[in-house]
Structure 1
């Protein structure tokens, strides 16, 4: 199967716009034009203090009633066509890639989760640390998170070291959802992303940087499963919508309440191998991610690892995938089906019973 994957994936990436959009390139080194784009957009549109953020970014909102409001396209904004469905051989939940000749490269990925009934915050210190290390990363953003944190989202979109993927509108458990519900979680996130990209282009154009802003990808092509939960229906629906599903083979924060950041970082490093995809979070919910990342970044480079976005990693070899997603061992995420109500879209709060229904699926 590996030779077939090696043949199919570059063709699909090219046809779907990964190469033309800058989401993936044959080499991991940044091209001069991309570096200039980063300096232009980030340095002109925001001050250093605005990029750095404040402690207020990391405040998590209280659990309340579910927010049933949904985004609509702003005047003059349209959705770009979704990419073509990937070949059948590429429709699983990708846990890692097998790079040619054992090339030591890994992708650090961050989820930006937010459910319907709270605001999850933004760990600005993580993004500052990535920029200090000039480290590439992929962020899988929930649509509601994009709406709650528009300035942070715009800054991530404008930085070509970073790549954005879809993480569902309100963190819906796709393993429990119908095809219509899955499509709603995808489409609402796509609408929010399109509105933000249009705002980025508007600001950049006012500063004479329209060409740089237009390099920001029009569409989201990668998907991260909330809770890592999948089903045959979910994987088929995502493929039909043109998504490649990116999971992970290294959980960097598992059981963080039981271990120190040092122990968690050492455990993650022990599991990293060429082509690994590392799971972390950049919302404010996990408490030790910043300290874990402080140890991971220098340790990976000391071991000779390059860092790539998930899109770049896919160019380097055939992916290894599964049909039933999980964190570390198969079945370890099934417990979340009962813990998070509303098919995963609600944060539980024993002191506050729910009185409204979650957002209904699009018709």
Structure 2
């Protein structure tokens, strides 16, 4: 990550509702309106734009009050993986979602539009469950920079359209209120990508704890990575895809009780922001 990108993160990180300076002090640009528990419509929290209107980046709540942690799950499926799904490969993970529900763990699911198209019933159920919030992980799961873990690349002229296409797929699946948060595929971004998305109103969400669950088969190792890395205000990146992260659900059964024993409270990304 280059110096410019790190400076954007440093300028935009918030904690427990306190927003540091990040561009002009203007109102959040979130387009999504959600209904609170009291029935009053409200806009989800976002960060103010960065210098020159640049898309802001959130990594962790550095000023978190108390021991809070956000577990996030990437529901990955690239635009060209339809034939693999048709042949029986599973990019979903219903057992993981059931475990989160059974353990009463709030979570943020960063979903690709292609995943929502492939699993519309699951996407709708996740999006309508108050325990969860759905955020944007692009439509195609193609990279927004060159040389990003071998992913195909979205041309700069197509970056905004790719994000908007994902939101369209969410609406078609029945997700009425996706959050105005975006996670770059592979976590790869640069100045060009942040500029390209500056008019979408999204806050880019990264992480500070890598679970290492991608393609991992050792649930204990995944759990240790998370437990060793979490600190107050952390954002943990995990995956909600059976074929690519088969050990994640089992790891959760260790992670959740252990963090609760340490005094941590699980929250969605929106609460950290």
Query: What is the TM-score with the length of structure 1 in the denominator?
Result: 0.59
Q: C-alpha root-mean-square deviation of aligned residues, in Å?
A: 3.0
Preserved contact between residue 172 and residue 185 of structure 1 (Cα < 8 Å): no
- Cα 1:100–1:143 change in 2 (3 A) is closer
The corresponding residue for 2:96 is: 126
Matched, 1:88 2:47: no
Whole-Å Cα distance in 2 between the matches of residues 196 and 88 of structure 1?
A: 32
Q: Look up the match of 2:256.
A: 297
Find the counterpart in structure 1 of residue 30 from structure 2: 16
Residue matched to 2:200: 241
Q: Which residue of 2 aligns with 1:352?
A: none
Q: By percentage of residues, which structure has more strand?
A: 2
Between 86-95 and 157-166, report the one with greater CA deviation: 86-95
**Structure 1 residues 139 and 84, CA gap change in structure 2 (3 angstroms):** closer
What is the alpha-carbon distance in structure 1 between the residues aligned to residue 214 and residue 240 of structure 2?
A: 17
Paired with 1:256 and 1:191, the residues of 2 have a C-alpha distance of 29
Task: Verify the 8 A CA contact 1:113 1:283 in the aligned structure 2.
Answer: yes
Looking at CA atoms only, which structure, 1 or 2, has the larger radius of gyration?
1
Q: 1:291 to 1:237 in 2, by over 3 A?
A: same
Q: Is the 8 A contact 2:108 2:134 kept in 1?
A: yes
Partner residue in 2 for 1:227:
186
Correspondence 1:129-208 to 2 at 5 A: 129-176=99-146, 177-197=154-174
Secondary structure, in 3 states, of the residue corresponding to 2:71?
strand
User: Residue 350 of structure 1 aligns with which residue?
Assistant: none
Distance 1:84 1:296, change over 3 A: closer
Give the corresponding residue for 2:151: none
More helix by share: 1
Aligned residue pairs: how many?
237
Distance 2:139 2:78 in 1: 8
* Maintained 8 Å contact 2:30/2:202: no
CA contact (8 A) 2:19 2:47 kept: no
Give yes or no for contact 1:93–1:245 (8 Å, CA) kept in 2: yes
Normalising by structure 2, we get a TM-score of 0.77
Alignment of 1:70-109 (within 5 A): 86-88=48-50, 91-101=55-65, 103-109=66-72
Local SS of the residue matching 2:60: strand
